[in-house]
Amino acid sequence: MASEVKEGLLHGLPIGLGYLSVSFGFGIQAVRCGISAVDASLISLTNITSAGQAAGIEIIARQGTLAEMALVQLLINLRYALMGLSLSQNLDPSFGFIHRMLASFGITDEIFAVCSCRKKPVTPKFMYCVILVAAVGWVSGTFLGAVLGEILPPSVTAALGLMLYGMFIAIIIPPAKKHRSVLAVVIIAAVLSVLCKHFLPMITSGFAIIICAVAASVIGAFLYPIDEKQEAEK
């Protein structure tokens, strides 16, 4: 079981480092919206999501209504419901009701990716460790960003911005190399996303991701309908 902890912490590390740099930017932005460093950190601790938080502080800044806040969060974060559903299919039997309730708090794009692309079923220990490292990076980055502002040279923060994407690439390439179906889905999703960005720029990024991912996955499921063996050896 110790290896579950170690593996979780190791998998959480690139996420935590990536989050640190991304949330640094969020911290800077929050202060610009008139939010204190402590409140900004509290938002990061209770939400752990980039797009939703960015939209949230904008609503706070202009004193929008609570209904608007709730609706915006619902729409931007709706993808987590889909991810939770997908992840629920790859859980270890030890993942009981209480563990599910607790661990669901940490379903983010990156944590979901690391957990659901795991070959073994996900244990509570593994997921908690990934969440812990990621959350530490996310919250401390927010606080540092809010307090330090723009002290780090832009060349460093800019390069750190690639960290998360590098990790995404490291997750999708090996299975795409092995399975033509995954490769097809990855390419379809990328092409749709590029088209979406160019021709439908008014769609928010959260929505665009849902649309492109659902479309690519549906096409994949149609093109490669029966492949139980491949799924089993995932």
Partner 1 sequence: MSIAIYILVMAGVTYLIRMLPFTFFTQKIESKFLRRFLFYVPYAVLSAMTFPAVFHATGNTVSSAVGTAAALILAYLDLPLIAVAAAASASAFVTGLFI
Taking CB under 8 A as the binding criterion, the range among 1-9, 130-138, 140-148, 176-184 that sits at the site for partner 1 is 176-184
The encoded tokens of residue 162 equal: 């690639």
**Options 62, 89, 151, 199; binder of partner 1; rule CB under 8 A:** 89
User: At closest approach, how far in Å is the CB of 103 from partner 1?
Assistant: 8
| 2 contacts partner 1 (rule: CB under 8 A) | no
**Options 201, 225, 229, 233; binder of partner 1; rule CB under 8 A:** 225
| 73 contacts partner 1 (rule: CB under 8 A) | yes
| Nearer to partner 1 among residue 151 and residue 226 (C-beta) | 226
Query: Which positions from 135 through 164 interact with partner 1, judged by CB under 8 A?
Result: 154-156, 158-164
Distance CA 177, CA 169 (A): 12
**Options 1, 2, 66, 202; binder of partner 1; rule CB under 8 A:** 66
Distance CA 149, CA 153 (A): 11
| 202 contacts partner 1 (rule: CB under 8 A) | no
**Options 8, 17, 26, 141; binder of partner 1; rule CB under 8 A:** 17
| 173 contacts partner 1 (rule: CB under 8 A) | yes
| Nearer to partner 1 among residue 102 and residue 148 (C-beta) | 102
Are residues 57 and 85 in contact, defined by beta-carbon separation less than 8 angstroms? no
Taking CB under 8 A as the binding criterion, the range among 1-9, 131-139, 141-149, 192-200 that sits at the site for partner 1 is 192-200
User: How many residues are present in the chain?
Assistant: 234
| Nearer to partner 1 among residue 147 and residue 176 (C-beta) | 176
| 207 contacts partner 1 (rule: CB under 8 A) | no
User: At closest approach, how far in Å is the CB of 144 from partner 1?
Assistant: 18
User: At closest approach, how far in Å is the CB of 32 from partner 1?
Assistant: 15
